[in-house]
Amino acid sequence: MVQISLPDGSVRAFDAAPTGLALAESIGRGLAKAAVAMRVDGVLMDLTRTIDTDATVAIVTRDQPEGLELLRHDAAHALAEAAKELYPDVQVTIGPAIDNGFYYDFHRATPFTPDDLARMEERMREIVDRDEPIQREVWNRDDAIAYFQSIGEQYKAEIISDLPQDEVITLYRQGDFIDLCRGPHLPSTGRLGKAFKLMKLAGAYWRGDHRNAQLQRVYGTAWASDKDLKAYLTQLEEAEKRDHRRLGREMGLFHQQEEAAGMVFWHPKGWRLYRRLEAWLRERLERESYVEVKTPQLVDRKLWEASGHWEKFHDSMYIAENEEGLRAYVENPKERIFALKPMNCPCHVQIFNQGLKSYRDLPMRMAEFGSCHRFEPGGALHGIMRVRNFVQDDAHIFCTEDQIISESKAFCALLLGVYRDLGFTDVFVKLADRPAKRHGSDAVWDKAEQALAAACDVSGLPYVLNPGEGAFYGPKLEFTLRDAIGREWQCGTLQVDFVLPERLGAFYVGEDGAKHHPVMLHRAIFGSFERFIGILIEHYAGRLPMWLAPTQVAVATIVSDADGYAQEVATLLRASGLQVELDRRNEKINYKVREHSLAKVPVMLVVGKREAEERTVSIRRLGRPDQETMALADAIAALVADAAAPDGVQSPVAAAAE
């Protein structure tokens, strides 16, 4: 007799140990149909296994998150089976479930083509129709290795060899295909359903290491139902519509071209957006007692050697000299050569080092909107998000060890306020702590890590540990925000640095009259302006908040009789500080409304004969079908108020009140 407790608290008794399938059947047909696996006393298992002892069991269904994950994993297996059937020369490697789907990495001498993708997907559907039972088998380790070697599956044999000695080796068999897998799996391939689609081909390195063989990765998406699949594909189309490269062109913000790969040509409208954002952030920094500096683009290699960057990154640094100097450098690499700065910190230390600093000067918060060049590998470039020339909203806080906590707290507050004002409220943090190879004593690391953790706590920021991922010079916080369609972007950073000040000879005179090295906090909120603006564009799908919109108001006439008045309206708006486009073209109002809507102009003022006579305007806001007619003076006042940048002033006051 086996007693099984269910999640609703009820208990069912069975004479003989039932399988998960039988249990599900006994509860209900609908549940049995949707079942993909079960949890027995918390352990995920195949439905085909029997429940031998009294236990608490929950049936996992295909629409639950973990059920969906299993489904995707099964889709990967079906893909592998299809690939093996169609192309006997492939070797299978790994095929996990991922967000929205799955992939499988294959080894094969000849590359797959898009046609192969279609064939494999077709074969997967046949495998589902065959409804092959999926059977779990426990194998002896050496037998398993020998077996996979015998069928030419070297990668599988290697995976098993590397599994811990005490690991139970399970293989899953479906049709003629047998694969190493931890499981669990569906009872049969028919349960997978057909809500999947193979999406793309890509290269991927074996075990993620570029020194290893390159495999062919096939990506697919898989869902519990056709409806979900369709919704996902629609969502992809929507994401494509907010692609910053597309919107950048459509809205006339910037362009990029071959002659300056990885760099940005900002057009007037894009540059206006950039400048507004910069000016706004600058004001925020000044309020927090940052001082702004500007440092050289070209700096002698000596400085980069001293900072340690040359040794580690000289491959991706641009060097510069005149022709004669370059020739001399090529002949003798010891010749003097300049490099375009890949970052600002060494230069900031140079400024700090001018004149004697006292502990009374600390903390010193030195900011720079520093233009940096890095020779990023060609395959890494991506619109304006990953470029070779970018501007960091960089700052370095020179402080004492005792000031790390308060400075970190203040920075978190500043960062959160900036994000919030830009429409990002969903922020989380990773705390990357000490790596194996590091500088500085454990006591100092303790202090720094604690300071960063404390800063998160006080700021109400949840953080997850990113163990061992800190820089060799200190721990760091990595700030990640979630955009309107749920994508995550790591933007901000706060890094504690015990090393650079020492390497570059920075010191201050302490209360004790002795010289001490300051701690440097490297911090950024946007990370890079280029990338952050890309994120903003995609977050808002181009419909930027009014204060950032490159064109804030379009004044459009209905008839040419209103031209004079429209001109006057535009002039008054401009005098009030708004960015205005005047559209007096001989076009129908429908046409103009459509055009300015597509251009994502937040406000349209439509003026016809009536408005001109009454000195009013008809206001139409982007994305809304209705209009409102208002006296001109009232409208201007309202629009000016709408266009005000968030000033964040209320936040410290509110914080003080709390």
Question: Looking only at residues 599 through 658 of this chain, which bind RNA when binding is defined by CB under 7 A?
Answer: 604, 606, 608-611, 618, 620, 622-623, 625, 627, 629
Tell me which of 476, 531, 596, 620 is the catalytic residue.
476
Residue among 139 and 318 whose Cβ is closer to RNA: 318
Stretch that binds RNA, among 10-18, 276-284, 338-346, 428-436 (CB under 7 A): 338-346
* 396 annotated active-site: yes
Q: Active-site residue among 116, 393, 394, 433?
A: 394
Q: Which residue matches tokens 């209360």?
A: 511
437 sits near RNA (criterion: CB under 7 A) = no
Choosing from 77, 396, 517, 523, the catalytic residue is 396
209 binds RNA (CB under 7 A): yes
Residue 78 is encoded by which pair of tokens?
């079906």
- Binds RNA by CB under 7 A, chosen from 225, 485, 591, 644: 591
Residues 463-492 that bind RNA (CB under 7 A): 471
Residue 572, H or E segment: helix 563-575
Residues 66-125 that bind RNA (CB under 7 A): 111, 113-114
* Selected catalytic residue, list 123, 374, 386, 592: 374
State yes or no: residue 383 binds RNA (CB under 7 A). yes
Query: Which range, of 63-71, 136-144, 573-581, 589-597, touches RNA by CB under 7 A?
Result: 589-597
Active site residue 374: yes
Stretch that binds RNA, among 82-90, 406-414, 532-540, 580-588 (CB under 7 A): 580-588
Residues 189, 191, 193, 198, Cα dihedral to 10°: -40
Question: Which residues within the stretch 300-329 sit at the binding site for RNA (CB under 7 A)?
Answer: 309, 312-313, 316-317
Shortest distance (Å) from residue 594 CB to RNA: 3
Give 283 or 561: the residue with its C-beta nearer to RNA: 561
DSSP line for 86-147? H-TT-EE----EETTEEEEEEE-SSPP-HHHHHHHHHHHHHHHHHT-BEEEEEE-HHHHHHH
Whole-number minimum distance, CB 471 to RNA, in Å? 6
522 is catalytic: yes
| Measured distance CA(263)–CA(318) in Å, rounded | 14
CA 603 from chain centre, in angstroms, equals: 31
For RNA, how many residues bind (rule: CB under 7 A)?
Answer: 71
- For 215, left (φ over 0), alpha (ψ -120 to 50), or beta? beta
Kindly give the pairing relationship between strand 254-255 and strand 134-139: unpaired
Q: Are 52 and 41 in contact (CB under 8 A)?
A: no
φ, ψ (nearest 5 deg) of residue 155: -65, -40
Extract the tokens encoding 268. 């007037």
Residues 225-284 that bind RNA (CB under 7 A): 245-246, 249, 256, 258, 261-262
| CB 300 within 8 Å of CB 338 | yes
Beta carbon of residue 221, minimum distance to RNA (angstroms, whole number): 12
586 binds RNA (CB under 7 A): yes
Q: Which of residues 492-531 bind RNA (CB under 7 A)?
A: 522
205 vs 232 by CB, closer to RNA: 205
Task: For helices 141-150 and 154-162, give the axis angle rounded to 10 degrees.
Answer: 160
Residues 323 and 345: their CA atoms lie apart, in Å, by: 29
Pick the stretch among 151-159, 170-178, 229-237, 371-379 that binds RNA (CB under 7 A).
371-379
Number of Cβ within a 10 Å radius of residue 457:
13
386-425 residues near RNA, rule: CB under 7 A: 386
Judged by CB under 7 A, the chain residues 167 through 196 that form the site for RNA are: none
Q: Which of 27, 28, 34 is nearest to 10 (CA)?
A: 27
Residue 85 sits at φ, ψ, to 5 deg, of -70, -40
Catalytic residues: 345, 374, 392, 394, 396, 476, 522
